Structure 1
């Protein structure tokens, strides 16, 4: 048991921040991602004997965390909208204009497109690996990736125009 705990602790230390970053990008909410990732790692610990035998325990945790987050979304859509409105006017730490634009654009595309874009461009998975992780076929992943890129490009162009166009205030 001690060896399992040490092995799991090493796995957690090596992967938790990366998985959290991936899920935060997929969900658009660091707070929701933190909750889902914590629960996913707890489930991984409960099943460590089988999870550690997976081709990628990290992918297992990321997939479970994503499912937990989606389940939470279905239960709390109105609460999330209120939370996002509340957080929109707050600035916790300075971020670059590019970072804000990308996060904003990711929030505007569909969850399926956002997921494959994050897995491909931030996580670095191949189309085949993404298909295996999300339980889909390669052509579906390619389609979502292409559509997601086009949608992102359109939103990033809009954001660039709003940023440089001297437009009015955001929010209020």
Structure 2
């Protein structure tokens, strides 16, 4: 029981029971699904060890129980902070300009949005963006230029080239 096919078979044989166990432990189906998914992820990453365990399903149940305990403790700490500090201030809804800009950005290709966000929101130079994304500097310059042109077209404003992108 040490390869992917064995893991798949183990998963099919145990996942229903483990989900029911997770639900019983935490009392919330969505939370139980998250706990079980994390447990199986950990089992897969240590599958050789888990497969050799005398009770692999018991190992998974222990992981689910520990994950549930950890999450419960984190929530209790968070609730303690909220009791001491009060709830966070209610944020203002986004302004009309923000809504329009976000809608326009969503119409651009992902690469253009990413380049624009890194350049204008994080103030990264073109060379740093290229290094972070793993593309040529010229590609980033092109994405920035096309992204600005796309925004201008969507927003109805003339595109203006930026000196630093040349």
What TM-score comes out, normalization by structure 2 length? 0.44
- Higher relative CO (CA 8 A, sep ≥ 6), structure 1 or 2? 1
What TM-score comes out, normalization by structure 1 length? 0.42
